[in-house]
Amino acid sequence: MIIEKEKKYHLQVYKRYPVVFVKGKGVKLYNINNKEYIDFLAGIGVVNAGHCNEKINEAIKNQLDKLIHVSNLFYTIPQIDLAEKLVNLSGLDKAFFCNSGTEANEGAIKFIRKYGKKNNKEKIISFYNAFHGRTYGSLSATPKKSIREGFEPFLQNFEFLPYNDVEAVKNLDNNVAGVIVEVIQGEGGVNVATEEFIKTLRDICEDKNILLAIDEVQTGIGRTGKFFGFEHYNIEPDIITLAKALGNGLPIGAILLKEEIEKYINYGDHGTTFGGNPLVCSAALSTIEVISEIIKNNKVIDKGKYFIKKLNTLNYDFIKDIRGKGLMIGIELNFEGNGIVNEMLKRGFIINCTAEKVLRFLPPLIIEKEEINKLVNNLNEVFEGLK
């Protein structure tokens, strides 16, 4: 019924799986018939602290009865506390809040443009297989043909380079204002940046006064085992964009930036009605606290290593690669993976396929070894059935 109703009333842009979810707790989701699923996708890297986390829900409920929204014409306490928290965690200097990942990148692109204008630099560089969002700025930085088709023209002076190509980034010229990059390309197939690539990028950007923006929308908030994905690379970005898991399900995005960039930005240059309202900021403050505890003592890094070790026991010719960091893990197959996702769904496991051939696992960071074992056993049976 709901499925037919969706067809009738909702714009048909999502090719959904035929499941209606009504409840979630921890790593479990329940459909309308109360069938239980183990969630290895976490709302595409959003509910990193698990569904309906008690602590975060309590923070949301407390704020809900106090104040939800007043606009950015006034000061509110959760927003400023959250700015302080993210500044301290990132080592950058300022925060701006928005509502989604694409919006965070949109703002970052505007700031890069403004910086470029004042320094006679026009180009913005991103990478093949990147995904930065679907609004015009971020889509201009996203090369994927299938999501761009029909929406031309895009913004000018955007160029794409091959990911992990050290020589290509060495040739960045003085006309480049900024580079935007994911340290692990999520939608692009869980492609992990090499240390050499990110370090070279940082050095070249330093040499040529290019702003380095790291898109942490998917890799941030503990996903890779560290709070930010860039921490694996020992570098300091100029700009960081965040969203997805920042509110553990409530819509909030953020742009973090260095003080040197702020001097190019004036009152009125950027803004939003909802961005950083007390409700979402309270959720984010609590999420940060909960996630910081979850990732302590390399717990998520170790779980990720265990997960990859288990996946490596799957011995099939059609597996091309198994890769990832923390709990952002992909299996590259030599065929289209959506059939596997459907089979796993029937068995009560939510996984995802991205870049057509990459099975992607982004479970809540509280996933236990036992659940990982169950998933791998079921995946093994599904793979076995393909032989």
The DSSP symbol for 271 reads -
Task: Give the shortest CB-236-to-ligand PLP separation in angstroms.
Answer: 19
Phi-psi region of 75 (alpha: psi -120 to 50; beta: other; left: phi over 0): beta
Which helix (H) or strand (E) is 84 found in, with range?
Answer: helix 77-90
In the complex with ligand PLP, the residue whose CB is nearer, 105 or 282, is: 105
Task: Give the shortest CB-139-to-ligand PLP separation in angstroms.
Answer: 10
CA 321 to chain centre: 22
In total, the chain counts a number of residues equal to 387
In the complex with ligand PLP, the residue whose CB is nearer, 222 or 378, is: 222
CA atoms within 13 A on the CB side of 115: 27
369-384 and 299-311 helices cross at what angle (nearest 10)? 20
Task: Give the shortest CB-185-to-ligand PLP separation in angstroms.
Answer: 8
Binding site for ligand PLP (CB under 6 A): 100-102, 105, 131-133, 182, 186-187, 215, 217-218, 243
Task: Give the shortest CB-266-to-ligand PLP separation in angstroms.
Answer: 26
Task: Give the shortest CB-324-to-ligand PLP separation in angstroms.
Answer: 14
Cα dist from 127 to 71, 144, 158, 374, whole Å: 36, 10, 10, 36
Q: Which residue's C-beta sits nearest to ligand PLP?
A: 101
Task: Give the shortest CB-254-to-ligand PLP separation in angstroms.
Answer: 12
CA end-to-end span of the chain: 37
In the complex with ligand PLP, the residue whose CB is nearer, 76 or 102, is: 102
Query: Helix-strand-coil percent breakdown of the chain, rounded to 5?
Result: 40, 20, 40
In the complex with ligand PLP, the residue whose CB is nearer, 241 or 286, is: 241
Task: Give the shortest CB-240-to-ligand PLP separation in angstroms.
Answer: 12
Contacts of 6 (CB under 8 A, 6+ apart): 16
In the complex with ligand PLP, the residue whose CB is nearer, 120 or 273, is: 273
> What secondary structure does DSSP assign to 193-237, as a single string?
PPHHHHHHHHHHHHHTT-EEEEE-TTTTTTTTSSSSGGGGGT---
| Cα 268 to Cα 110: distance, rounded to the nearest angstrom | 13
In the complex with ligand PLP, the residue whose CB is nearer, 102 or 378, is: 102
In the complex with ligand PLP, the residue whose CB is nearer, 133 or 275, is: 133
Task: Give the shortest CB-45-to-ligand PLP separation in angstroms.
Answer: 7
In the complex with ligand PLP, the residue whose CB is nearer, 82 or 240, is: 240
